[in-house]
Structure 1
Amino acid sequence: MEAEREGIRTLEKGFGALISRIKTAFKYALILAMSGILFFLAQVPREEFGLTFLLFSLAFAGMMGLFFLATEKISFRKTLFAGLLLRFAVFWFVPNWSDDFVRFLWDGELLKIGQNPYAQTPQEWQKENVDPDNVYRNLLFENLNSPDYYSVYPPLNQVIFWLGAQASMGFVWNGYYVLRLVLLLSEIGVFFLLWKLLMAFQLPPKRIFWYWFNPLVIMEITGNLHFEGLVLLFLLASICAIQKGKLGLSGGFWGLAVGMKLVPLILLPALVSLKKFRQNKLAWLSLILALAVSFGMLLLDNSWDNFLKSLRLYQGKFEFNASIYYLLREIGFWVEGYNTIALLTKGLSLLTLGLILFFSWKRKPSTVPEMVDLWVLIYLIYLILQPVVHPWYIIPAFGLSLLTARNTFLIWSFTAIFSYQAYSSKEVMERPVFLLIEYSLVLGGIVLDYFVAKRKLNFAP
């Protein structure tokens, strides 16, 4: 009888080992499959929405498969290298979904030759400095998507653009490879900090899969050269510093996040509402110093004035992939008979500020996790009320949300791909049905996260 039981136990162990080997093999197969999918996705023009959506969905499904196959204990090193493999799959190709990188290199080229990128629009500068023999600069100018606008990128961005220009040596691909390398290094930093914070917050480390293997993150940061990954890096560094009690460093890192993109300014009321930060003089000193260093260049010439002109133009003229703004715009058309964008943007900005101040006052976070959860809510309020929401805008909020039990931004990291349907035709044209699909799913996430008491999806901790 005992021999029979021992035989059964041996069979069970052997079967368990076989299942474990099959799962491991399947995980490796998924990583390789995702690498191949992203390799092809990086070469698909954004006009080919059908193929873009198919490949993106397959990559997203692969990420979900990896998450659900993973045990609670995962390998730091294997996870890191698997995510790097996916990023290297898109590393070698020209950005196909965005041409913003051309302006990055243009601004960097002006800095390289000792010119102020905020002093003139590219059109004005090129008119005064025509050089038929400078093929590189002329090529950049011909491919700019905003030659009549002053640069809207903060000085901290410009430092990285300058690095790209220094490395270009007359070839555009040299420039964007350097920009991509900087962003890849920042992604490695995000991985380390996310891992560390997940442990500190006592959350399952495999939640990092949602970011590290996410096709939106990989395509928009490594592939399309958007700097929201660096914003997230500085925000996570700020959180880590607060967690360790190094409040001076925390203020400095938060100031650098603002210096990279202005949007993290919306988080200031929540940061101030954290008592230990508010009462620390060194935190304020480092914050102010970081902002001074980040924006000092704007004091030259008319840089600050021109920079603000572009910001105001951006806020009062452009609209893309919006939600509540589009609903209010339709009401404006019905009531006034024309696009009330000027009034709406001002009104929604005031509403956003009011809600941010209200929730920061109402919640008064006393712990770092509570503050992070408030940051996620503030980002959600901001993005839902914005007239322009490009897919990469959600990445900092998405990364922060992994340190909470909120899943709205994870859902949004998939549905954001619907915004690329607008590029299917020669003229950018958004179809309401795709906006409806995208924001209905986002709304579902909001309801589950904030209105269904104690409800968690299966992939929440």
Structure 2
Amino acid sequence: MAVGFFFLAYYIPRENFWLTFTIYSFLFGGMLVLYFLSAQLKWQWIFVGGLLIRLSLLIAIPKWSDDYPRFLWDGELVKMSQNPYLETPQSWLQNHPESASPYLADLFEAMNSPQYFSVYPPLNQAIFYVAAWGANLDTQTGILILRAILILGEIGVFFGLLKLFDHFQFPSKKLILYWLNPLVIMEITGNLHFEGFVLLLLLASVYALSKNRNMISGGFWGLSIGMKLLPLMLIPTFFSFDKTRKSKAFWVGSAIAIIASFVWLLIDDSWLYFLQSLKLYQGKFEFNASIYYLLREVGFWIKGYNVIGELTPILSGITLLGILYFSWKRKPQNLSHLMDLWVLVYLLYLVLQPVVHPWYLIPAFGLSLFTDKKAFLIWTFAAILSYQAYSDLNYRESPIFLFLEYSILAIVIYWDYFIETDDLNSLSNGN
């Protein structure tokens, strides 16, 4: 497995889909074999094995994602005491030729969205600044620092899972499903995405709740919003859970963390550009979608053009209504039920989105390990099919591979939510 990860990270570009798929399938299968055959495997061995794999990728240049140049670009602007939200990289180079450098020019050339304002919240920008400060105008060093920070976050996730598995009396071997999962390793350590930090903060929030430290729990949840915004959709679930709904300390902690995370956007009206970038992202980009693509085809048939601008707000409204409905309907009685509801909320959101990058699955997948649901585990395998698009010179997605991915997911969702009707009763009793 270590050799497989090494080749994926260092030698196999995402354009080589079939080789990528073959090695990825081997890694996923190896993980499952270890899980089913390791009844007595101690968590220390699991930890060391996964950590060594991650450390072996330390100096790899990401081959599956080109997001990191924007991370380093934003960090460099912060280091120069400039606001990364006020100008697009394209306009910044035109307006500040005296501050440009070969390093920034190289980042600009490698960037996938130079014409858009930054979409990364201030907590992300703080991490980007640390990487830029240590990089000293060297891309390889910047990547190394970002990866080291992400590995530290992953270590936190490992021990967070370990603590909570012990609390809920789950076997420690479940750690294998996260710690050796090829999607988790490749998308966080390999491709430098920050969803692992979101999971870390959500786990910390749950752990604090289990210890009746409600203000701290709210603070961690607020910080998870500051990291990636998406956990904001969990608000209705907290109102449906008695322990948080009635806790002033929880909401005070949340408010303090959210304000501390986003107050920086008030500088120079940065929030206007930040929201503009979010709106553009929601109304323009499409990738690896399911229900959205079906509705888009109906729109082509009826109106003759891409109706993404009309579909996106409708699907967002449906998502919100669904979250409100399930939060009201389920009314979680303990932490196990609350996390089961979170998994359902993430699932509803992702199947209705026009953009579903594989790394978006990671927070929900980690949370799903505390439930009896298998959909996100299987999706962490099926999501590799979305990388087929990069094997096409024009990055066109194949309907066949999309059908395969979402057919697999649909079968598991049906099994999770319609066959096993006693899903809530089968959960461990939590606090």
Equivalent residue, structure 2, for 1:68: 36
3-state DSSP of counterpart to 1:42: helix
The yes-or-no answer on 1:191 pairing with 2:166 is no
Equivalent residue, structure 2, for 1:295: 262
- Cα shift at 1:305: 0.4
Alignment of 1:276-287 (within 5 A): 276-287=243-254
Contact 2:123 2:226 in 1 (8 A): yes
Q: Which runs of 5+ in 2 are unaligned?
A: none
Contact 2:93 2:100 in 1 (8 A): no
Contact 1:448 1:455 in 2 (8 A): no
Contact 1:118 1:302 in 2 (8 A): no
- Cα shift at 1:454: 5.2
Aligned length in residues: 424
1:229-261, CA deviations, whole angstroms, 9 ceiling, x for partnerless residues? 000000000000011111111000000000000
Segment drifting more, 344-353 vs 136-145: 136-145
1:319-364, CA deviations, whole angstroms, 9 ceiling, x for partnerless residues? 1000000000111111111111111101000000000000001111
Distance in 1 (alpha carbons) for counterparts of 2:346 and 2:202: 13
The yes-or-no answer on 1:223 pairing with 2:190 is yes
User: If you compute each CA radius of gyration, which structure gives the higher value, 1 or 2?
Assistant: 1
3-state DSSP of counterpart to 2:145: helix
- Of 18, 22, 41, the match for 1:54: 22
Amino acid corresponding to residue 407 of structure 1 in structure 2: K
Contact 1:132 1:138 in 2 (8 A): no
Equivalent residue, structure 2, for 1:419: 386
Amino acid corresponding to residue 24 of structure 2 in structure 1: F
Contact 1:376 1:397 in 2 (8 A): yes
Q: Which runs of 5+ in 1 are unaligned?
A: 1-33
Alignment of 1:245-264 (within 5 A): 245-264=212-231
Amino acid corresponding to residue 381 of structure 1 in structure 2: L
Contact 2:59 2:143 in 1 (8 A): no
Amino acid corresponding to residue 364 of structure 1 in structure 2: K
- Of 310, 313, 317, the match for 2:284: 317
Distance in 1 (alpha carbons) for counterparts of 2:219 and 2:99: 44
Contact 1:422 1:430 in 2 (8 A): yes
Equivalent residue, structure 2, for 1:37: 4
- Cα shift at 1:74: 3.1
Amino acid corresponding to residue 55 of structure 1 in structure 2: I
Contact 2:42 2:172 in 1 (8 A): no
Amino acid corresponding to residue 20 of structure 2 in structure 1: T
- Cα shift at 1:453: 2.7
- Of 127, 140, 158, the match for 2:125: 158
The yes-or-no answer on 1:442 pairing with 2:381 is no
Q: TM-score, normalised by structure 2?
A: 0.96
Alignment of 1:70-219 (within 5 A): 70-71=38-39, 73-131=40-98, 134-219=101-186
Amino acid corresponding to residue 171 of structure 2 in structure 1: P
The yes-or-no answer on 1:400 pairing with 2:400 is no
3-state DSSP of counterpart to 1:405: coil
Distance in 2 (alpha carbons) for counterparts of 1:255 and 1:310: 22
- Cα shift at 1:133: 7.3
- Cα shift at 1:131: 4.6
Distance in 1 (alpha carbons) for counterparts of 2:27 and 2:341: 30
Amino acid corresponding to residue 151 of structure 2 in structure 1: L
Distance in 1 (alpha carbons) for counterparts of 2:348 and 2:402: 18
1:111-148, CA deviations, whole angstroms, 9 ceiling, x for partnerless residues? 00000000111111111112597221111112111111
Equivalent residue, structure 2, for 1:433: 400
3-state DSSP of counterpart to 1:148: coil
1:8-55, CA deviations, whole angstroms, 9 ceiling, x for partnerless residues? xxxxxxxxxxxxxxxxxxxxxxxxxx0001000112111110111011
3-state DSSP of counterpart to 1:326: helix
Contact 1:36 1:89 in 2 (8 A): no
Distance in 2 (alpha carbons) for counterparts of 1:76 and 1:346: 45
RMSD, aligned α-carbons: 1.4
Equivalent residue, structure 2, for 1:5: none
1:46-71, CA deviations, whole angstroms, 9 ceiling, x for partnerless residues? 11101110111111111011101111
Distance in 2 (alpha carbons) for counterparts of 1:133 and 1:416: 39
Distance in 1 (alpha carbons) for counterparts of 2:405 and 2:151: 28
- Cα shift at 1:282: 1.3
Q: Which runs of 4+ in 1 moved over 6 A?
A: none
Equivalent residue, structure 1, for 2:200: 233
The percent identity for this pair of structures is 55
3-state DSSP of counterpart to 2:113: coil
Distance in 1 (alpha carbons) for counterparts of 2:18 and 2:105: 34
Amino acid corresponding to residue 53 of structure 1 in structure 2: F
Contact 1:449 1:455 in 2 (8 A): no
- Provide closer, same or farther for how the CA distance between residues 446 and 75 of structure 1 changes in structure 2, counting only shifts above 3 A: same
